C-alpha cells in the first residue's frame, strides 16, 4: 500500500511539475544509499537490545514456568 501511495504521488508530481519528478528519480536512490548504513546500524542495535532483553528476562520466564 505504501508503494502504491508513493507511486501515485510521484505521478501527480509528474503531471504538475515534470522536471522536479525527473530530478527525484535520480536523487532518491542516492539518498537511499546515503541512509542505508544508518538503517543497518538501527537494525543491528534493535537485534542486540532484543538479545539483551531475552538474556535478562530468561530467569523470570523459568520461574514463571515452574
Q: What is the pLDDT along the chain (66 residues), one digit of tens a residue?
A: 888 998 999 999 999 998 999 999 899 899 999 999 999 999 999 999 999 999 999 999 888 888
What number of other Cβ atoms are within 10 A of residue 24's Cβ?
Answer: 14
The number of angstroms, rounded, from the C-alpha of 16 to the middle of its chain's C-alpha atoms is 28
Cβ neighbors of 10 (< 8 A, separation 6 or more) are: 21, 24
| pLDDT score for 65 | 82
| pLDDT score for 4 | 94
| pLDDT score for 2 | 86
What is the largest distance, in Å, between two alpha-carbon atoms of the chain?
67
**Rounded-to-integer distance, Cα 6 and Cα 16, Å:** 15
The model scores a pTM over 0.85: no
**Rounded-to-integer distance, Cα 1 and Cα 8, Å:** 11
Amino acid at each position: 500500500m505504501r508503494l502504491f501511495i508513493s507511486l501515485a504521488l510521484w505521478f501527480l508530481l509528474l503531471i504538475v511539475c515534470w522536471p522536479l519528478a525527473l530530478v527525484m528519480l535520480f536523487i532518491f536512490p542516492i539518498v537511499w544509499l546515503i541512509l542505508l548504513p544508518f538503517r543497518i546500524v538501527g537494525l543491528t542495535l534493535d537485534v542486540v537490545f532484543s538479545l539483551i532483553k531475552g538474556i535478562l528476562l530468561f530467569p523470570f520466564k523459568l520461574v514463571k514456568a515452574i
